[in-house]
Structures are given as C-alpha cells and as structure tokens.
Chains A and B, each alone.
Chain A
Amino acid sequence: MTKGNARTVRILVGSRKGTYVVEGGPGRRKWTVGPVAHAGNDVYHVVADPRHPGDLYAAVNNAFWGPQVQRSRNWGRSWKEIATPLTPFGKERKFEMSEEGPAHPVPRPLANLWHIEPGPPSEPETLYLGADPHLLFRSRDLGASWEPIDGINRHPARDHWSPGAGGACLHTILVDPREPRRLYVGLSSVGTFRSEDSGATWVPTNKGVRAPFLPDPNPETGQCVHKVAIDRADPDTFYRQDHGGMYVSHDRMDHWTRIGKPLGDDFGFAVASPRAAPGRAYFVRLDGSARVTGPGHFQVQEWNDRRRSWRRLLSPKAFPGHYGVQREGIATDEFDPAGIYIGTTTGQLFVSPDAGRSWATVGFQFPGIHSVSVAGPTGG
C-alpha cells in the first residue's frame, strides 16, 4: 500500500468479509488492493472524512458480537474501535408482558450500522450515523460520543414503521451544502424526511413516490426508499432510487417525479451524482424480482436531467452475467470527467475513469461488496 501521496485516489470497499482500501493514481486505471481489515465482519459502509485527510470511518457489523464504529487515522493502515451508540430506548424497556402485548415490545438493541456521514466543513467535529432500527445519531466530537436525534427517532408515526428485507435501516443522510441546518434522511420502508432545524423537527417528503406494496399506494410515509443522491451543483435537486422506481425532485424533496418508466422495470438500490456533471445521475437497474441485472449483462443507466433522457453506458457484450448492486454500491469521484465506481454482491469492483465511456474491473476478487466510496486527492 502506498503512503499519503497527495495525488492518491482511494476506493474504500466495505464487504461481507471486511474492509479494503484500494489505491491508485489520478489516471484511475491501475489499482493496488491493500490488506483486509475487519476480516470476517460485515462492513456496511466505509467513508473518508474530507475535513481531516487520512481519517476513515467504518460501520462494522459482527453477527455474533454486535456493531462497532471503527476509525483509521492513516488511510486504513490501522483501525481502532471508537464509541458505538446504543439504543436510546433502553431505559423504557418493559420485560413484563402487558395486555397490549405487541404494542409495547421490548425495545430492540442497536442492530446493524448502515451509514456514517461526515458533517459540513463549518462543523469539523460533527458526524452523523444511521442505524437499524430506524435510528439517527450525531456526534459533535468525532465519534467520542453520540447523541440520538429524537426528532426522527421519536417521530409520532414511529409505531407504524416496519422493517424492509434488509432491516429497519436508516441508510441515507444528506446535509445541504449551503445550509448545514437542513438535513435529509432516508429510511427503508418509511421514506424520506427533511429537517430545517438541525434535526429538531422533520417533515415527510414522499409526495409522488408510489408504494405499490401498500393498500394505499400513495401514502404520506411507507415508501421504501433505497438510496438518494444530491445534485451538488443544484442542492435543491435529488435523485432517488426507490422500491417503487427511479425519481427526481427539484424542490428539496417536496415533490417527486418518476423518471424510470422508460426503462420498464426501474427497480434498483444504488444511485450517485458526480460533482463534475451537474444534472447527471447514475443508476444500476435491477430486475425487481431477481434483484440482479436483468438482461444478462452489467449495465449502468445515466439520467440526463436537462434533456430528460436516459443513456446506457455499456455494451451488452462487455460484462455478461447477472450482477447485484446494493444501496451503497456506487460512488463517484471529484474529477472531471468523473470516475464511477460500482461494487457488486459477487465481489467485482467496476471502475470507469471517464464518466462511463470506458469500464474495467479492479483485478481482485472481493467478497460480496456492500459499499463503495471514494477518497480523492483532496481527501474526500
């Protein structure tokens, strides 16, 4: 593994069996895979903190011994456990059975950690963390301690929330780059919410997103959002991969418009939007039943929001097979043209260094990949 070269690009891979840091140069065609860390653990997310170059955070989930937040301060050469939040409902537990029965269940402990989001540059010590069961936490001391964000954790509708197949995960956390008090979250089987006051209060933001699996297909909440990406050149615009299709919003998630219909089945999990390409978003469409790329080859769909059109980025002959991609499985970098990075559930790591014109795989068979993110030469 190369040491802190200012031109080094790092792909951070969270897999079913550990964490990998993959290093390359700005050409983004030659890569060196570092040794595995957190071996044997499910690592749902690994992310760099652009405010503190060299700092990485990992959401490490151990089936036997529970979750841990781990941090590296040297680009992944070594890792150390830091504070892991606990369920905020512990003191309210009721071990006795009451006549209400299931309405008052024993509170669940914190299950898997799903997403770690560094705060804005103006708050250099802030981190956000999303976890199962549908919990949001904030640290104001870089992970030495965590506070539950009660505005969403104790939302009045919470009793009606239920988990999706992947659990009750809070997997999307977005901070408006212009206004750090404005936050957005995405919760599986619940939908998206926006806060204008640093998380004190939240409003659901799911208008226009269908929920075909519910009796009322157009509810206020209950949509199963899979992932949302913000358009960093226009932070009022968001791209959403939902269980019910692919959507765009141009008004801070107040309204959503389905864009995926021309693709037919517009199911999927992952979406990303690069800084260098305003109005572009990348989706990996999956078969809604099999949850792998349906046509028998690896494919990426590019949405052009200005032309309101779709483009397929790969030849069907390039990578034949059925590939799965999870919600954190796609990332883009800070270059122009942007690099696109996609990890699959069968352990291939696809890289395009030129906004989708050419593609290659990193020459290493990873375990099934949960998450991909990129730390660019500037650190984030």
Chain B
Amino acid sequence: MAVPNPPDAGPPRGPERRMTGGKPEGGDRSLLEVHLDSWLKEFGAPGRQTAAADTVDQLLDELERRYPRLRFRIRDETGHLRKYVRVFVDGTDISGTTGTATSLREARTVDILHSIAGG
C-alpha cells in the first residue's frame, strides 16, 4: 500500500543545497550503495552505483545530476516522492515516515523501488 508523504517531507530543492566534489560537507564517510529499480533504466539510470549524501533528498539530487531524465520521476515537481515509489534505507521503508528528509549519515544502502500496484 502506498503511503503519502508527510507535509514536511519535502524541503525545497535547488542550488542552495551544497555538495562539494561529489561528497557532502561534514567529513569523510563510506559511500552509500544505491540500488535502483530496473524500470528506471528507461531514464538512463543503471541499477547499482555508489554515492555520497547526507539525506535522501541529497541523494536524489545527486542521482538527478548524473541522470537528468530521472528528474520528476522519483520525486514529483512539488518535491515529494511519487505515490508508488518506495525508498528503503538499510532495509527500512522511509517512504511514509521521515520521507526524503531521512538522514543517511549512518546508512550503508539505499534501495529505490516501485511499490506493488497496478493491474
């Protein structure tokens, strides 16, 4: 079942978010292992890669920078995860809780998948 994002889950995106040299500000950390839904290959994104980010929002910003056709596919233009997209941080579905504001500071893996829906 899809769960809508909380109203405060979508801080504005834009150039104000700072990434330095592909790493977030605030020190060295292991890179995240990111697994993307195979359907997202349609938009140019391979299934496995690594990235550095402090939050899910930052990670999505980075993925959209790498693969511009991903823009507005995982998040809509209001900054919210789309209804049938689920994001798992170290195996925990954050789509209906802390959403894209979820911290990745202690995280190792992120899975971005579509939910079971349709017919």
Contact = CB atoms under 8 A, between A and B. Distances in A.
Given A95-B7, A95-B10, A96-B8, A87 B82 contact: no
A110 B77 contact: yes
A87 B43 contact: no
B12 to A, nearest CB: 8
Contact of B76 (A63, A66, A81, A95): A66
B78 A87 contact: yes
A84 B7 contact: no
Contact of B77 (A65, A87, A95): A87
B84 A63 contact: yes
Contacts of A84: 72
A64 B8 contact: no
A93 B78 contact: yes
A333 to B, nearest CB: 33
Interface string A243-280: 00000000000000000000000000000000000000
B118 A96 contact: no
Contact of A64 (B39, B69, B77, B79): B39
A106 B7 contact: yes
Nearest to B7: A95
Contacts of B82: 64-66
B78 A107 contact: yes
Interface of A: 63-66, 81, 84, 86-87, 90, 93, 95-97, 106-110
20 contacts: A63-B118, A64-B84, A64-B85, A64-B114, A65-B40, A65-B82, A66-B82, A81-B69, A93-B78, A95-B8, A95-B9, A95-B10, A96-B7, A96-B8, A97-B7, A106-B80, A109-B76, A109-B77, A109-B78, A109-B80
